[in-house]
């Protein structure tokens, strides 16, 4: 069986495109340059309109959840990292649930996992690319133009997949997926702060410029506290964004420290930290992916069989309308309407039932998926206990047994997982109601990613400054 997996991995590796590893370990400066280069290429793709499509690349999508996929409708990044994220999550779930039995400690199984993740990515790209075209996102296209647009979306996904692999194989820092998400959210926040575009209310889109403008107008800055326009960029959003960012930075540092010691060297003592956000942003990513795919499927069904919203059964899945000058369906009822949720303060106040339903769905899914991720993601008390035992550690005052250590860990892990899932679910769902820049999901992802990059930079700087220490901990 092991040989079969090895051969399968080798065959898929040869057939699928891949990025080569650097022949030598790059310096931190070189890796930063490569990281910046990959980001520039992605941003260039995000500004390049699809050939044969009349949809403006700057046209706002009603699906704000797309921010987790770093996508831009009508451009080469229309699918963004969606196929990579969705395919990777599905494969991770299959492995974690032992439906697909792979031992990622073995090199041949890791190679097969990487190859299968590419296969899943390409399959999801085919599905999502077809979904965009069939749902009418790009208007009415001829069959030839549909094939041309589909080919552009598919090959753009391959390029994005290779850039992500390039970063992860040592050319850059972190992962391309994280880089693209953080850059997309940061770009949205920067736009809401400093965009010079004039909106319908006569003020600049960017709240900083709008406040300066308001100081020299008879109306003052009063109308800027809550702006009843489609885009964000008001004082309420500025206050809520700063508050959420500060709260997330604080929450990232909250943890429970369990004392541990080495079983052979009694003088070596330390702590095993269990973060309050133990499951991180994974529940939100899972929930957002599910909600996004519900939207995709419902728009396809609506565009094909229920454009007049007359079928009561299909209306349960979703009813839609297309506003003047837009090509993307906007949900008006059904499951798609409540899983999307209000996108700003005005919408939340206008439909409180939808607002509360979305909060309930997001928090409920985060709780369920957070608990599930602990089991399949290698974060369970039993798995952590085995890791500590394998590292020669124990909890002082207790017998060095996996059963005992896991029982101690269980008291904290499941509690912080529940609390953390509720917190991220509430932040992701309610931040939009107070016009937070970058959406609640985007802020959660961006702060988590930036915190990881901070840790990577510190580790890389220490490794360069103290190479002997890097060799000791296995960095080289």
Contacts by residues 143-149 (CB-CB < 8 Å, ≥ 24 positions apart):
145/52, 145/53, 148/51, 148/52, 149/50, 149/51, 149/52, 149/53
Residues 6+ apart with CB under 8 A from 33: none
Q: What is the pLDDT of residue 240?
A: 93
Supply 221's token pair. Answer: 């800055």
Q: What is the pLDDT of residue 191?
A: 86
Output phi, psi for 209, to 5 deg. Answer: -65, -35
Burial class for 181, CB neighbours closer than 10 Å (0-12, 13-18, 19+) = buried
Structural contact between residues 299 and 291, judged by C-beta atoms closer than 8 angstroms: no
Output phi, psi for 260, to 5 deg. Answer: -135, 160
Among 258, 290, 289, 55, smallest CA distance to 153 is for 55
Residues 6+ apart with CB under 8 A from 207: 192, 193, 224, 233, 234, 235, 237, 238
Q: Map residue 270 onto helix, strand or coil.
A: strand
Q: What is the Cα–Cα distance from 197 to 202, expressed in whole angstroms?
A: 10
Domains in the chain (CATH in brackets) are: 1-173 (1.10.3370.10), 240-476 (1.10.3370.10)
Per-residue DSSP letter, 396: T
Residues 6+ apart with CB under 8 A from 215: 221
Q: What is the mean pLDDT of each run of 10 residues along the chain (476 residues)?
A: 63 78 86 92 90 61 62 86 84 74 71 84 90 77 90 94 90 87 86 87 88 88 80 85 91 84 69 83 83 83 86 90 70 89 87 94 91 78 83 76 84 88 91 87 87 84 64 48
Q: What is the Cα–Cα distance from 341 to 436, expressed in whole angstroms?
A: 14
Per-residue DSSP letter, 394: E
Per-residue DSSP letter, 167: I
Supply 203's token pair. Answer: 């003020």
Residues 6+ apart with CB under 8 A from 51: 148, 149, 152
pTM to 2 decimals? 0.81
Q: What is the Cα–Cα distance from 46 to 205, expressed in whole angstroms?
A: 21
Q: Map residue 263 onto helix, strand or coil.
A: coil
Q: Map residue 320 onto helix, strand or coil.
A: strand
Q: What is the Cα–Cα distance from 229 to 222, expressed in whole angstroms?
A: 15
Supply 121's token pair. Answer: 């990515």
- Cα–Cα–Cα angle for 230, 234, 236, rounded to 5 degrees: 115
- Cα–Cα–Cα angle for 65, 67, 71, rounded to 5 degrees: 115
Q: How many CB atoms lie within 10 A of CB 40?
A: 11
Q: CA–CA distance from 351 to each of 47, 175, 317, 383 (Å)?
A: 35, 39, 19, 44
Q: How many CB atoms lie within 10 A of CB 114?
A: 17
Q: What is the Cα–Cα distance from 28 to 461, expressed in whole angstroms?
A: 7
Residues 6+ apart with CB under 8 A from 79: 69, 71, 125, 128, 129, 132, 153, 156, 157
Q: Locate tokens 């499941």: which residue?
A: 414
Q: What is the Cα–Cα distance from 370 to 401, expressed in whole angstroms?
A: 27
Q: What is the pLDDT of residue 175?
A: 85
């Amino acid at each position: 069986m092991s040989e079969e997996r090895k051969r399968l991995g080798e065959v898929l590796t040869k057939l699928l495109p891949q990025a080569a590893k650097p022949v030598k370990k790059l310096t931190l400066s070189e890796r930063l340059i490569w990281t910046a280069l990959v980001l520039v290429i992605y941003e260039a793709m995000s500004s390049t309109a699809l050939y044969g499509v009349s949809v403006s690349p700057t046209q706002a999508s009603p699906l704000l959840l797309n921010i987790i996929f770093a996508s831009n409708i009508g451009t080469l990044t229309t699918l963004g990292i969606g196929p990579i994220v969705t395919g990777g999550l599905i494969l991770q779930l299959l492995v974690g649930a032992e439906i697909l039995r792979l031992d990622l400690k073995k090199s041949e199984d890791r190679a097969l996992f990487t190859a299968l993740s590419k296969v899943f990515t390409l399959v999801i790209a085919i599905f999502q690319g077809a979904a965009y075209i069939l749902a009418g996102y790009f208007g009415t296209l001829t069959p030839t133009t549909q094939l041309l647009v589909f080919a552009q979306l598919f090959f753009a996904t391959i390029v994005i997949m290779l850039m992500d692999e390039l970063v992860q194989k040592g050319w850059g820092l972190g992962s391309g997926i994280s880089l693209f998400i953080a850059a997309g959210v940061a770009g949205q926040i920067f736009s809401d702060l400093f965009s010079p575009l004039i909106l319908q209310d006569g003020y600049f889109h960017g709240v900083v410029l709008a406040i300066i403008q308001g100081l020299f107008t008879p109306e003052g800055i009063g109308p800027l506290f809550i702006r009843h326009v489609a885009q964000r960029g008001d004082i309420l959003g500025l206050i809520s964004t700063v508050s959420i960012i500060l709260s997330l930075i604080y929450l990232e540092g909250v943890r429970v420290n369990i004392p541990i010691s080495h079983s052979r060297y009694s003088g070596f003592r330390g702590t095993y930290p269990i973060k309050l956000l133990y499951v991180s942003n994974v529940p939100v990513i899972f929930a957002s992916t599910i909600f996004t795919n519900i939207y995709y499927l419902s728009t396809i069904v609506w565009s094909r069989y229920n454009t007049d919203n007359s079928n009561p059964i299909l209306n349960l899945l979703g009813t839609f309308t297309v506003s003047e000058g837009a090509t993307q369906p906007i949900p008006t009822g059904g499951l798609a309407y409540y899983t999307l949720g209000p996108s700003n303060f005005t919408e939340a106040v206008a439909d409180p039932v939808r607002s509360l339903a979305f909060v309930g769905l997001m928090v409920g899914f985060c709780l369920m998926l957070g608990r599930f991720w602990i089991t399949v993601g290698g974060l369970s008390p039993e798995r952590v206990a085995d890791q500590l035992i394998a590292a020669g550690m124990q909890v002082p005052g207790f017998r060095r047994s996996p059963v005992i250590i896991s029982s101690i860990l269980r008291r904290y892990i499941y509690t912080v997982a529940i609390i953390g899932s509720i917190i991220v679910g509430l932040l992701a769902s309610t931040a939009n109601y107070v016009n937070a820049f970058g959406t609640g999901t985007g802020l959660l992802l961006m702060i988590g990613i930036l915190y990881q990059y901070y840790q990577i930079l510190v580790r890389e700087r220490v490794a360069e400054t103290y190479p002997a220490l890097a060799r000791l901990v296995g960095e080289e």
